[in-house]
Amino acid sequence: MLNHNTTANCSHVPDVLYGDQIRLKQILINLISNALKFTQIGEVRVVINYAEDDQLLHVSVIDTGVGIDKEELRKLFVKFNKLERTLRENEDGLGIGLTIC
């Protein structure tokens, strides 16, 4: 069973941020979708931190999914490439999501 609990502590994030809202949304959708697709048991967490010194928003998508073999890491961001396990477990998609990110 997948745990969809959400907790947020955004007290350190400014009320107004400047950036490309469309691209950020696209990246988050891709990363979260991948995490959900490949996490059958466990959890998917989105962690948001703001670095005041650098004025940067740090967003991490963390999951307890199957992971990626070390040999396949170099193929991860190649356009239209799908990892072996991805092909077996999920036939949908073009293999461009992480390249876009």
What domains can be seen in the chain, in order of their start residue? 1-67 (3.30.565.10), 69-101 (no CATH)
Average pLDDT of every residue of the chain = 77
pLDDT at residue 44 in the model: 96
Of the candidates 56, 95, 47, the residue with the CA atom closest to the CA atom of residue 72: 95
- In sequence order, what are the residues at sequence separation of 6 or more whose Cβ sits closer than 8 angstroms to the Cβ of residue 10? 48
66 or 28, which is more confident?
Answer: 28
The model carries a pTM of: 0.68
Q: Give, in order, the Cα–Cα distances in Å from 27 to each of 11, 54, 71.
A: 23, 21, 24
> What's the mean pLDDT in 13-21?
88
- Which tokens is 29 given? 């959708």
